[in-house]
Amino acid sequence: MANPWFRLYSEIADDPKIGMMPENLRWRFIALLCYRCKQLAVTDASVAYLWRIPPSEARETKDVFMAQGFIDENWTILNWDKRQYVSDSSTERTKKYRDKMKTVTPVKRHSDGVVTYVGSHGDFSVTDV
């Protein structure tokens, strides 16, 4: 299932592989990350169309990205799974917590049976003896 977001780490701003590329190639790389996030099938022809560039320019961009180690020959983002691992859901985390709490023995507390209630009409005590 496609995600509406992906992780983009702050180190990308200082990465020499990214920083030494022309700005248009940097944006194309970010666009590729977005396409991967949306699980779009990417081909030379689709990239040329999406970026509104000639197919020859799409192939040149592909060659640069492959040389930098960003993609393979099929436009697949390398190391995607390393950076975009599946997060645990709160549902799973809550279930684990509740299952764990079922195995914990409750602490017995001492009670003398006196309950104090502070109401809107003053304080009073109820003794359950």
C-alpha angle with apex 114: 110 to 116, nearest 5 degrees?
120
Q: Residue 107: inside a domain, yes or no?
A: no
- State the pLDDT confidence band at 41, using cuts at 50, 70 and 90: confident
pLDDT tens, 113-125?
A: 666 656 666 555 5
Neighbours of 15 (CB within 10 A): 13
pLDDT tens, 50-96?
A: 999 999 999 999 999 999 999 999 999 898 777 676 665 667 778 88
Q: Could you tell me the residue range of the domain that residue 55 belongs to?
A: 10-83
What does the mean pLDDT of the chain come to? Answer: 81
| Spatial contact of 115 and 126, defined as CB atoms under 8 Å apart | yes
Q: Residue 119: inside a domain, yes or no?
A: no
Total domain count for the chain?
1
3-state secondary structure of 120: coil
Q: Residue 120: inside a domain, yes or no?
A: no
Quick one: pLDDT at residue 114?
66
